[in-house]
Amino acid sequence: MNESEFNALAEETFIAIEVAIEDAVEASGADIDYDTAGDILTLEFTNGSQIIINKQTPLSQIWVAARSGGFHFDYDAGRQLWCLNSDSKKELFDQLSIYCSEQTGRSIELKE
């Protein structure tokens, strides 16, 4: 994947995350705000915690920093999914659901 392909794909993914957050907030009643600045998408929770999602263009990865740690996701073109680089069975939206649930104390399900 070249740099422009990565940037376009990552941008589409950030938009999909924003839509998923809006849908999850509506469904769960959780209070999650988000803000995008450049290559960084920040999810903010009422308890003051955050999840930071950013593009790592040189590595063609999306990185996520949550309370539970830092995670790197690679794009699997065959499955058309962002997968955790240490466990390709773990998909980005499923993992973000877990991280958001941990930080809100509510069950949050993000769907792409």
pLDDT, tens digit, for every residue of 50-75? 999 999 999 999 999 999 999 999 99
Q: Can you give the pLDDT at residue 38?
A: 87
Q: What percent of the chain shows pLDDT beyond 70?
A: 100
Domain layout of the chain by residue ranges: 3-90+98-104
Q: Report yes or no: 42 and 34 within 8 Å, Cβ to Cβ.
A: yes
State whether CATH 3.30.920.10 applies to domain 3-90+98-104: yes
Q: How far is CA 75 from CA 34, 44, 56, 104, in A?
A: 23, 25, 12, 27
If you ran DSSP here, which 8-state letter would residue 48 be given? S
Helix (H, G, I), strand (E, B) or coil at 11: helix
Helix (H) or strand (E) holding 82: strand 81-84
Length of the chain: 112
The model carries a pTM of: 0.93
Burial of 32 (0-12, 13-18, 19+ CB in 10 A): buried
User: Does residue 93 have a pLDDT over 90?
Assistant: yes
Q: Can you give the pLDDT at residue 106?
A: 87
